[in-house]
Amino acid sequence: MEEIAIRSGGAAGDGIASIGETLSKCLSRMGLHVFGFNAYQSVIRGGHVWFQARAAKERVYSQGDGCDILYALNKETAQIHLPSLRRGGVLVYDPENFTVADSELPVGTRALSVPTLAVARKFTSQPILQNAAGLGAVSFLAGIPLEVIQRTIADSFGTKKGDVVDWNVNGAGEGYRYAQQHGAPVGSAVAPAGPPKYLMAGNQAIALGAAAAGCKFLSQYPMTPASSIMHWMAAHSHQVGVVVKQAEDELAAINMAIGASFGGVRSMTATSGGGFSLMVEALGMAGMAEIPLVVVESQRCGPSTGLPTKTEQGDLNLMLGAGQGEFPRAILAPTHPVDAFRATIRAFELAEAWQTPILVASDLHLSESYATVDPGELDLNVDIPSLYTVEPNGGEYLRYRYTPSGVSPRSFPGQPGLNYVSGSDEHDEKGHLISDVKSGVPIWVAERTKMMSKRMRKLDGLAQATELPQILGPPSAELSFVAWGSTVGAVRDAMALLAARGVATNLIHLPTVYPIHAAELGRLLGSAKRTLLVEANFSGQLGRLIRAETGIHLTERLLKFDGEPFYPMEIVGRATEVLSHGR
């Protein structure tokens, strides 16, 4: 596939994320599909950070492997990333920052020194303006028209006016013209490919999906990588009619969301694994009291605070078992911002329909990476039925009435004739607690059995209402990948690389991790010639769940837990090993 990958790097605080996001916006405005990956440390200043913007006419699903243009703001970036510069690629740097000998360049690559700091000094004493000049130079090399980069830079300042905007726009122009005079575009330079596309991070897609689904209350304590969900919601709260509450901690956040939902408002909270660990008791209360709730769990490296700014899929066991005892739940695992948008809408629908918590399993790689979305892929016209579906019948209202589906008629505080008792203890149909003895007879035995069975019957309905495992690629392929969540993106890119080598593969992925749809998954796995489980955790948590539910043991695995996302070529390498077995 024809593509271009632009990588920028420097120290935290140098504006690397802004450089990467600006380039990603330029490429998306040219109608290209883009994937933008931001790699950063947990320190505010210092420490190496980098951003890769990868673009092509066809959709790209991951950050890819190498790069065609490397914009290095310091020597460390050049030392780390020069080996990733592909043949025909260009290193862009300012000789005031560091120097590079020809012998340090990979074979078939070249360097372009651009006096970005000198350009900056023409306008201001602030060295950060060198980024505008660097953006201009990189844009020329990448084939981005000057007017596109200058308009994008101007738009990034919003309604601000004055010298700062002019300095950045003009600085980009000088960098662009310098590269025109002293360099040449890379061989994979891009051209406009159609109408502009949306560019959004996974968390933005989740927030937009929640708003489209009718969410009216978000309570959250900021925790990377879930924080930007709250940031987006707060910034757009008046536009979408959502009340956003920053809670004092995660316990308060989930209890506020439960309280709002109990009162008849579609509600959500979002966190990472550490915060979700604090939420599990309240999650069980929502399950016991049959209160709809959507929780976004954006995973990062653990245990404890682990690697706070790195990605992992290590919380599946936690999500499966969160809360003491057993109660019904579903775990949805989107793979891409489009998926994240739709899965969040579906989570609200499922929570409301089955009156139980629904979890959206994201991770740092999905939450914070950018990807392009075609406008037609986001349907904001979501049907939101009225929550007021129960009318007084003149008789006794049984909030927890035993029903074949497990779903009981639900009322809200203030509805005349529909008052009821709701608590965290086990209860009867009226909501009255049953942990008691009358006339020496333990009344809880029968009631507990019936009520527990009623609640757990919802799992059957959730299994019918959630997406089945999906297979992508030729059914008769030599190798079947098994993956979930953001890892699916790198697998899809690896499949394209393998196909270019004449190797047919397919992918079995699980939009719904739980309930797991054992029969359908067993059928797909049973027809696979060879399988390769790909997960970003140490123990293969999805593989263990699949074995428990289907009896199928996926012996060939590629597990990664160093905090880095999967790269397509490492998946290609492991797949080649698996395919070579027995040949």
CATH number at residue 137: 3.40.920.10
Tell me, yes or no, whether 244 and 162 share the same domain.
no
Indicate whether 436 pLDDT > 90. no
Residue 411 domain flag = no
Tell me: pLDDT of 169 over 80: yes
pLDDT of residue 391: 84
Kindly state whether residue 146 falls inside one of the protein's structural domains.
yes
Residue type, 5: A
The answer to whether residue 499 sits within a structural domain is yes
Residue-range definition of the domain harbouring residue 475: 470-580
Which pLDDT band holds residue 583 (cuts at 50, 70, 90)? low
Q: What is the CATH number of the domain that holds 486?
A: 3.40.50.920
Are 229 and 117 members of one domain?
no
3-state secondary structure 245-269: EECCCHHHHHHHHHHHHHCCCCEEE
* CATH of residue 246: 3.40.50.970
Q: What is the structure's pLDDT at 1?
A: 54
**Residue 257 Cα distances to 38, 166, 220, 245, 278, angstroms:** 31, 45, 9, 10, 14
* Residue 301 domain-assigned (yes or no): yes
C-alpha 140/C-alpha 120 separation (Å) is: 18
**Mean pLDDT of the 99-111 span:** 96
pLDDT at 514: 98
Q: Report whether pLDDT(34) > 70.
A: yes
Please indicate, yes or no, whether residues 307 and 357 belong to a single structural domain of this protein. yes
Instruction: Note whether 264 and 155 are same-domain residues.
Output: no
> End of a domain among 182, 208, 233?
182
Q: What is the mean pLDDT of residues 366-385?
A: 95
Q: Point out the domain boundary residue: 342, 377, 412.
A: 377
Residue 338, pLDDT > 90, answer yes
Based on the fold, state whether residues 25 and 131 are members of the same structural domain: yes
Q: What is the pLDDT of residues 487-531, one digit of tens each?
A: 999 999 999 999 999 999 999 999 999 999 999 999 999 999 999
Calculated CA dihedral for residues 341, 218, 220, 421, nearest 10 degrees: -120
Residue 467 CB contacts under 8 Å (≥ 6 apart), including other chains: 511, 512
What local confidence, expressed as pLDDT, does residue 437 receive? 57
Show the tokens assigned to 77: 């970036």
H helix intervals, 49-161: 75-81, 116-121, 130-142, 146-156
163 & 232 share domain: no
The pLDDT assigned to 46 comes to: 78
Q: Where do we find the tokens 């395919």?
A: 579
Is there a single domain that holds both residue 96 and residue 218? no
Per-residue pLDDT averaged across 9-38, rounded? 96
Question: Would you place residue 466 in the very low, low, confident or very high pLDDT band (cuts 50, 70, 90)?
Answer: very high
Phi then psi for residue 323, to 5 deg, are 100, 135
567 shares a domain with 475: yes
Q: What is the average pLDDT value for the chain, to the nearest integer?
A: 95
Backbone angles phi, psi at 360, to 5 degrees: -105, 110
DSSP state letter for 468 = P
- Residue 434 scores a pLDDT above 90: no
| Confidence category of residue 443, pLDDT binned at 50, 70, 90 | low
Of 335, 354, 377, which one is at a domain's C-terminal end?
377
Burial label, 409 (beta-carbon count in 10 A; 0-12, 13-18, 19+): middle
In this structure, is residue 418 part of a structural domain?
Answer: no
Residues 155 and 57 in one domain: yes
Residue 192 or residue 116, greater confidence: 116
Residue 42's pLDDT band, with cuts at 50, 70 and 90, is: confident
Which amino acid would we find at residue 517? Answer: H
- Whether 529 maps to a domain, the answer reads yes
Same domain? For 328 and 360 the reply is: yes
pTM of the model: 0.96
pLDDT, position 162? 80
Does some domain include residue 407?
no
pLDDT at 435: 74
The domain total for the chain is 3
Average pLDDT over residues 191-215: 96
Among the residue ranges 45-54, 111-120, 344-353, the one predicted with the least confidence is 45-54
Do residue 237 and residue 148 come from a single domain? no
Q: What local confidence, expressed as pLDDT, does residue 176 receive?
A: 98
Measured CA to CA, the distance from residue 8 to residue 440 in angstroms comes to 75
Asked if residue 233 belongs to a domain, the reply is yes
Do 24 and 111 belong together in one domain? yes
